Amino acid sequence: MRSLVRVAALIALWVVLITLAHGAVNLDTFKPRRAGDGGKTFKIGFLPVTCHLTCPVTHFINKSMTGEEIFDPIRFNGWPELKEAYLSGYTRATFILAPMAMRLREEGVPLKIVYLGHRDGTAMMVHKDSSIFRIEDLRGKTVAVPNRFSNQRLLLFKALRERGMSINDIKLVEMPPPDMPAALYAKAVDAITSGEPFMGQTELDGYGRILYLTKDVWPEFISCVLAVHEDAIKNDRETVQRLVNGIASSGKWIDESMDHRMQAADFVSQNYYNQDPRLLQHVLSKPPDRVKYTNLALRRKDFEEIERLGREGGILEGKAGFDEYCDTSFVPDESVVRPYLWESPK
């Protein structure tokens, strides 16, 4: 009996160690932190990608300016954990793939998209020695995408169709973005596409070459959105509005100058992403419009295009329309949004 108990304990320990080794969740982020409003926290899920950059920027600048921590950013390393944290109610808001949010709403999940995370900010990379120079050259090749419900998959679907091809002309594999650079380096796949900065990493390390930037294939591309639980909208509108206003101000601040972009790359890499600052510095500057953080209002035509492509691509069913998965009432008038008047700590 004792041996069985010992074996069970070892198995349990092994599961914990494997989970931590794969970085499923940064457990430190689950330690409760008191906010400035009497201890109430508004947890927001995010990944260490440029699509979600305004989340840590908003938290860092607000904390630096006021000392308050009303918003509690929770970092995850993958979409499954981020999604489950929202579904369990642990996070009240989350940055999430736009088609994934739309699909969850179709399934009856009580969420509303209230703002965008960015525009553009995605690339497709091939090995520098590859013979792939055009999208048409992807025929018969293996391409890694982040998730079945990613807009990167829909972008590829759209780009292939516009060239007389279909998604069946390539082999698609799903892969966590942090694993993509190593897969491309080893030539285990022919091309990779995800949000930055993982695509830029292949450039910095000298073996990746850009096949396309989304701004050149699907201008004003949307990858991720800010989604909020309907209960928060109903019972805590003021906090939701403060969050959206903060994201809007952060976007304006980031896009105001290259100096601001480099400051953001520095403090976000060190305090939130646990990445080499060179990565963010690279993708926020080469070229400067590789990813943009203004013009983040919810536009019906953008989402209806995603919806149409999602239905044609087999990931959406069309059960929910724009007014069901979006709430535009929190979108500030972008003509009056002002960037933060703030200087980065020296």
Same domain, 172 and 161: yes
Query: How crowded is the C-beta side of 237, counted as CA atoms within 13 Å?
Result: 6
pLDDT in tens, 119-158: 998 899 999 999 999 999 999 999 999 989 999 999 999 9
What are 19-53's pLDDT values in tens digits?
333 333 332 322 333 333 334 579 999 999 999 99
The reply to whether 97 and 229 lie within a common domain is: yes
Would you call 150 helix, strand, or coil by DSSP? Answer: coil
9 with 47, same domain: the answer is no
Residues 179 and 198 in one domain: yes
Which CATH number do you get for residue 90? 3.40.190.10
- How many domains would you assign to the chain? 3
Residue 336 included in any domain = no
Q: From 217, 246, 266, give the residue that closes a domain.
A: 217
Please determine, for residue 16, whether its predicted confidence score (pLDDT) is greater than 50. Answer: no
Tokens of 71: 């918003």
Q: Are strands 122-127 and 208-213 parallel, antiparallel or unpaired?
A: antiparallel
Res 333 pLDDT > 50: yes
110 and 245 assigned to the same domain: yes
Is the CB of residue 258 less than 8 Å from the CB of residue 66?
no
| Start-to-end C-alpha separation, the chain | 61
- Between helix 98-106 and helix 79-87 the angle, nearest 10°, is 40
| pLDDT score, position 40 | 58
What's the maximum distance between 2 C-alpha atoms anywhere in the chain?
A: 71
Based on the domain organization, do 323 and 208 belong to the same domain?
no
Range of the domain at 104: 34-118+222-330
- Is the same domain home to 153 and 187? yes
DSSP state at residue 23: T
DSSP letter at 25 equals: B
Residue 337 forms part of a structural domain: no
* Residue with more model confidence, 324 or 340: 324
Average pLDDT over residues 263-268: 96
pLDDT in tens, 268-324: 999 999 999 999 999 999 999 999 999 999 999 999 999 999 999 999 999 999 999
Q: What is the predicted pLDDT for the residue at 346?
A: 56
Burial of 178 (0-12, 13-18, 19+ CB in 10 A): middle
189 and 239 fall within a common domain: no
Paired sense of beta strands 122-127 and 191-195, if any: antiparallel
**Is residue 134 in some structural domain?**
yes
Does the residue 346 lie in any domain? no
* Residue 83 counted as domain residue: yes
Residue 252 lies in a domain: yes
Among candidate residues 211, 208, 176, 220, the one with its CA nearest the CA of residue 195: 176
* pLDDT confidence of residue 334: 76
Q: How confident is the model at residue 238 (pLDDT cuts 50, 70, 90)?
A: very high
Higher local confidence (pLDDT), 6 or 137: 137
**Final residue of a structural domain among 162, 188, 217:** 217
Distance CA 58, CA 326 (A): 22
Judge if 173 and 135 occupy the same domain.
yes
Q: Is the pLDDT of residue 113 over 90?
A: yes
Same domain, 233 and 285: yes
Q: Is the pLDDT of residue 168 over 90?
A: yes
- Its pTM stands at 0.84
Are 203 and 236 in a shared domain?
no
Whole-angstrom Cα distance, residue 268 to residue 257? 17
Residue 338 lies in a domain: no
Looking at residue 292, its pLDDT comes to: 94
Each residue's pLDDT tens digit, 175-234: 988 899 999 999 999 999 998 999 999 999 999 999 999 888 999 999 899 999 999 999
Amino acid at 148: R
Q: Is the pLDDT of residue 11 over 60?
A: no
268 and 310 within one domain: yes
The count of other CB atoms within 10 Å of the CB of residue 274 is 12
State the chain's mean pLDDT as an integer.
87
Residue 256 lies in a domain: yes
> Which helix (H) or strand (E) covers residue 213, if one does?
strand 208-213
Does residue 173 have a pLDDT over 80?
yes
Q: Which of 217, 238, 262 is the last residue of a domain?
A: 217
